[in-house]
Structure 1
Amino acid sequence: MDVQAAVAGEMVIAQGEIALVPTGFAVAIPPGYEIQVRPRSGLALNHGLTLINSPGTIDSDYRGEVKIALINLGRAPFVVKRGDRIAQLVLSPVIRAHLQLVGKLAVTARADGGFGHTGV
């Protein structure tokens, strides 16, 4: 679902600036779920505007106003107006991992190769 800015008037996000944009609503998320906050591809591509912590997470016990932490990585200031679509929300189940300490890991073809090891 799209999230709209609930700013009074306009909010200018300068180049390199991080801004917390209000949405004007709160949510009650069921236990066992989270809401993922994701950037809008058009804002990122056309203006360099994205989330500073992508994806963001809203935990099920949070009850305050939803705010979106945006950063302007673009080449010009960006003006946020009331009603602008600034992010997307996705409700997702949370699967809790049960970690187990082991002495040795199983061998794989990739082994410990990372950061560009499998291609571009």
Structure 2
Amino acid sequence: MRPVIRILWEDWADRSLPLPAYETAGAAGADIRANLPEPDRAAGITLLPMQRLIVPTGIRVEIPEGFEMQIRPRSGLALKHGITLPNTPGTIDSDYRGPLGVALVNLGDAPFTVAHGDRVAQMVVAPVVQVGFAVVDALSDTTRGNGGFGSTGRQ
């Protein structure tokens, strides 16, 4: 049985917009739409270059225990307009019940308007394992050892 994400509409939300959905049979992420408050629906919300803001989705979610929801950028928006997420992937924990908003940033060189109903991000639901932590006197040896950023080469 696959997990089910329970969704609650915000009182002000436009319920005629589609819920998050997988656009193709092989999609890993379900697209999330901007669901703007009534005063912003006609004009949309404009992000100036380097501006960050939270785009409302009009929903709240209940994620099953043992899972997280990752919010990720849409590749087309990133490539064509420089629109991405400043904290990608953003994680929504299973015990969060507040409004689902998408933090966007405009890394492009022109203003970008998010229209009411636009697909602005995608969500990926993934299992979570909570680990234990133990202080030890030494760590096991590996071939890589202390090699950090760039230590495995470029090609």
Matching residue within 65, 82, 105 for 2:116: 82
Deviations 1:70-98 (A, max 9, x none): 01111111110011110001111110011
**Match status 1:16 vs 2:50:** yes
Measure how far apart 1:108 and its partner are.
Answer: 1.1
Task: Detail structure 1 runs of 4+ shifted over 3 Å in the superposition.
Answer: none
Residue in structure 2 matched with residue 5 of structure 1 by the alignment: 34
Superposition pairs of residues 95-110 of structure 1, within 5 angstroms: 95-110=129-144
Superposition pairs of residues 33-112 of structure 1, within 5 angstroms: 33-112=67-146
Identity %: 52
Question: Which consecutive residues of structure 2, in runs of 5 or more, have no partner in the other structure?
Answer: 1-29
Measure how far apart 1:33 and its partner are.
Answer: 1.3
Residue in structure 1 matched with residue 152 of structure 2 by the alignment: 118
Measure how far apart 1:106 and its partner are.
Answer: 1.2
- In 2, the alpha carbon distance for the partners of 1:15 and 1:119 equals 34
User: RMSD between aligned alpha carbons?
Assistant: 0.9
Secondary structure in 2 aligned to 1:46?
Answer: helix
- Give the partner amino acid of 1:5: A
- Give the partner amino acid of 1:112: N
- In 2, the alpha carbon distance for the partners of 1:65 and 1:99 equals 32
- In 2, the alpha carbon distance for the partners of 1:42 and 1:119 equals 29
- In 2, the alpha carbon distance for the partners of 1:80 and 1:29 equals 26
- In 1, the alpha carbon distance for the partners of 2:35 and 2:141 equals 51
Q: Which has the higher contact order (CA 8 A, sep 6+)?
A: 1
- In 1, the alpha carbon distance for the partners of 2:140 and 2:126 equals 30
Q: Which structure has the highest strand share of the two? A: 1
Measure how far apart 1:105 and its partner are.
Answer: 1.1
- In 2, the alpha carbon distance for the partners of 1:34 and 1:70 equals 20
- In 1, the alpha carbon distance for the partners of 2:112 and 2:58 equals 20
